Amino acid sequence: MDTMILYGRNFSPFTRRVAITLNHLGVAYEQKPLSTLEDIEAIRLLNPLGRVPCLSVAEEVFIDSDAIIDYLLSRNPQHTLLPQALNARQRCMYDNALAKGVMEKCVAYFYETTRREPALVSETVAKHYQNQVMQGLEALDSRLLLKASEQQLDLSDISIFVAYQSACSVFKDQLPTFSTLARMSAVYEAWPTFHQSPL
């Protein structure tokens, strides 16, 4: 059996969504929590862009959370993470895209406000990212209300959970209440497949 190694910390929402997907699929893996700040040279050896997540399987390295998840789902065709019915699939893909957008903007906001020289931080740009995060979460919060409660967990649920928790950790008390997201997050946090990969 090939050893799978996931590179990246769960603080990276993209890494965390891969980790939770691996847990959910029941795939054995090891995680090396490389940081883009402290371990950039090691990360560049895996990914020329110097980004996480990366997943190594034997001699092969996969990069980008979508491409990694696509590989994992293809390797585990019995999975139930992508709905088969057209409407449910479209809903899943739309919510997944919204959640990934929220992740991207949380990361962009975090970089803008913590990695730039203080004198160069643009409040306008940071505010724009913050608004995008808030609007994305607002849309997800309303859309989750409409989702049937008996619906099976799919890829979008993992992404929404990770995106929401990422926003909580980046924006802390600046984040308004999103009651449906908060409820969903509390429920999933108790599941072993989520619990196993904490922030």
Ligand X SMILES: N[C@@H](CCC(=O)N[C@@H](CS)C(=O)NCC(=O)O)C(=O)O
Please give the residue ranges that form the binding site for ligand X (CB under 6 A): 12, 14, 36, 50-53, 64-66, 107
- Cβ-based nearer residue to ligand X, 187 or 199: 199
Q: Which of 140, 131, 142, 147 shows the shortest CA–CA distance to 165? A: 140
Least separation in angstroms between residue 149's CB and ligand X is: 29
Do 137 and 163 meet the contact criterion of CB atoms below 8 Å apart?
yes
Q: Which of 195, 196, 139 shows the shortest CA–CA distance to 167? A: 139
- Cβ-based nearer residue to ligand X, 14 or 188: 14
Q: Which of 137, 121, 127, 119 shows the shortest CA–CA distance to 176? A: 137
In this structure, which amino acid lies at residue 149?
Answer: S
- Cβ-based nearer residue to ligand X, 64 or 79: 64
Do 66 and 41 meet the contact criterion of CB atoms below 8 Å apart?
no
Tokens of residue 79, six digits: 């999975």
- Cβ-based nearer residue to ligand X, 100 or 147: 100
Q: Which residue has the tokens 């993209």?
A: 14
Least separation in angstroms between residue 100's CB and ligand X is: 7
Least separation in angstroms between residue 118's CB and ligand X is: 19
Backbone angles phi, psi at 60, to 5 degrees: -95, 145
- Cβ-based nearer residue to ligand X, 64 or 73: 64
Least separation in angstroms between residue 85's CB and ligand X is: 26
Least separation in angstroms between residue 102's CB and ligand X is: 12
- Cβ-based nearer residue to ligand X, 98 or 147: 98
Least separation in angstroms between residue 51's CB and ligand X is: 3
Q: Give how far Cα 49 sits from Cα of 4, 15, 30, 45, Å.
A: 21, 15, 22, 9
Q: Which of 49, 18, 162 shows the shortest CA–CA distance to 102? A: 162
